[in-house]
Every structure is written in C-alpha cells, then in structure tokens.
C-alpha cells in the first residue's frame, strides 16, 4: 500500500508562531538540527477531537529542550493553544500531533549557542501503529543488537531526535526478519524497552516492568500503571534480565503510538494474550476516549 509522502500533504503546519501552508513549511539543508541532531520532539494522540495528556507532552517537550541546552521561545500555554488551533484547522478527529523544536541555520558547527530555536507542529490522521489483526493476536519482537546507552553518554531523559537512530536501525533489522519491532536491552544487558514503547510483563497476576533509569518513563506507561493500580494489580518496577522472560506469562508494550499492544513473542520467548493484557487494553481505550461532555477521561 502506497503512503503519500509527508512533504506532499495538504493543509497547514504551525511553524514559528503561525499557520503556514503545508508545502511551505521548509528548512534550509544547512540546519544545525539536521546536521547535529539538536532537535527534540513529542508524539501526541488525538481521540474524538481531544488531545490526550496534552499538557504532559508539552511540558516534556520543554524539559527535553532544556536537557539539550536550549530554551523554546514560546510558553507552554502558547504551544498548547497552537496544538488545539492546528487540530481544528486540520479537522483532526482521531490522529497524531508532532511538535518539535530545533537549532536553526545560524551556526554550522558543534558549538551553536547563537542559533535561533525554531518550533513547528504538524498533525495528521493516524490509525493503529501496528496491523490491527496482528495486534490482537500479539505482535512478534526481535531482540535488538543495539543497546540503550549509559546515561553518562547521552541525555536519555530527553525525547531527542538523535537518540532514535539506534531505534530505527533496530526496527529495520527486526522487520527484515519478519518481526513487527524489536526489544532493546540497555548497556548493562538488562531489558529496557521496545524501539518506541515501554514494556510490561505479567507473572502470577503481577505486572513487572523495567526501571526507567536510561530510557523515557513514558506518559502512556504511567497512565497504564495507574489503570493497573485501579484494578488492584501489583506493579513491580525492577531490573529484568533477558533470561527472565522465559518465566513470564504475558507481555505488552505501551506508548503514544503503540497504545497498549500485546506481544506474543520476544526472540525465543513466547507469551499468551491473557486477561490482564486484554483488560488493560480496554481500560486504556476507555481512558483516552472523550466523555460525552467533551472532556478526556484522564487516567493519571
């Protein structure tokens, strides 16, 4: 199935403070964000015309920028308003929003203190990240060769564009083998996350999930933890070694794009799509859908 390239779509993009025609949202090739990965971004879902956990995502965008040593030249409230303005202009009911901020073209070198910070927000309709039929039976994950880095080597608490290079490489390698995605270990060899989602396991009715000390503590991850607690489930955040996966019964991943997606295999390890996973899938979809009043039901 062919997909229309993202530079050839219709509508508008919010670009440095105003809505511009989609085709006019352009950068020069000599741009610091492109050459040196000095760029941060967010991925946000829209359900029923409402942005889910909007303020959480916007605040994380600003924090990511600070971790990359720059300040976004707008307020959190201005970015929030821009996102709402944009989904209205684009007539988005169920879709995705991508805010991002980066260093511009004023300086071309490792040092770029004088570069101006540019900001853009785009939105588009977006269905399930994974094939719906495959998702219901549980997706298959490879185990990636690339590992999440030591926090002393990268700003791992930022949602920075450069940190996703090894995710792209890992997902490409997994897809070539027929898998949907890949599970990444960290630099110590411990279970970390999928290429764009956090991971949970179920054993004896309890949820086990890696401690997010070198990767993002995802907004969806925290939402699902709250949903699980509301069901009376025990949440155990801890170090998980790869060989422990043999003893887990269920597995699922969580993320803005992935939502709550069951996993049937991780490398040689097999899992069932059990009742706990199914219940949390349903709870999450209930949480993200706007109430009749138009307000999103928050799970945090």
Q: Check residue 256 and report its DSSP letter.
A: T
Give phi and psi for 115, each to the nearest 5.
-70, 140
Question: Can you tell me the distance from the alpha carbon of 116 to that of 104, in angstroms, rounded to the nearest whole number?
Answer: 5
- 159 classed as catalytic: yes
Strand partners, 141: 181, 266
Q: Residue count of the chain, please give it.
A: 300
Query: Cβ contacts of residue 156 below 8 Å, gap of 6+?
Result: 148, 149, 163, 214, 215, 216
Catalytic-labelled residue, pool 26, 53, 159, 203: 159
Question: Can you tell me the distance from the alpha carbon of 185 to that of 203, in angstroms, rounded to the nearest whole number?
Answer: 20
**259-266 and 139-143 beta bridge pairing:** parallel
Task: Provide the 10 A C-beta neighbour count for residue 109.
Answer: 9
* Residues annotated as catalytic (active site), given as ranges: 159
């Amino acid at each position: 199935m062919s997909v229309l390239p993202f530079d050839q779509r219709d509508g508008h993009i919010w670009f440095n403070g105003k809505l511009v025609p989609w085709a006019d949202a352009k950068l020069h090739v000599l741009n610091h964000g492109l050459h040196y990965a000095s760029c941060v971004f967010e991925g946000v879902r829209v359900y029923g015309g409402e942005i889910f956990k909007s303020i959480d995502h916007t605040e994380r965008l600003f924090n990511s920028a600070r971790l990359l040593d720059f300040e976004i030249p707008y307020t959190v409230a201005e970015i929030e308003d821009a996102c709402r303005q944009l989904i209205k202009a684009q007539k988005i009911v169920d879709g995705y929003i991508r805010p991002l901020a980066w260093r511009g073209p004023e300086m071309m070198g490792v040092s770029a203190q004088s570069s101006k910070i540019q900001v853009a927000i785009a939105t588009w309709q977006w269905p399930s990240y994974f094939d719906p039929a495959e998702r219901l039976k549980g997706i298959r994950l490879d185990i990636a060769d690339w590992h999440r880095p030591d926090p002393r080597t990268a700003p791992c608490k930022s949602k920075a564009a450069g940190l996703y290079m090894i995710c792209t490489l890992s997902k490409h390698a997994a897809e070539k083998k027929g898998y949907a995605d890949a599970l990444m270990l960290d630099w110590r060899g411990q279970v970390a996350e999928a290429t764009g989602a956090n991971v949970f396991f179920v054993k004896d009715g309890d949820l086990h999930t890696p401690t997010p000390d070198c990767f993002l503590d995802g907004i969806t991850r925290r939402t699902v933890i709250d949903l699980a607690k509301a069901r009376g489930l025990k949440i155990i955040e801890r170090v998980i070694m790869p060989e422990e996966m043999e003893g887990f019964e269920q597995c699922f991943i969580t993320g803005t794009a992935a939502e709550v997606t069951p996993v049937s295999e991780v490398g040689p390890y097999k899992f069932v799509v059990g009742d706990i996973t199914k219940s949390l899938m349903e709870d999450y979809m209930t949480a993200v859908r706007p109430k009749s009043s138009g307000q999103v039901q928050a799970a945090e």
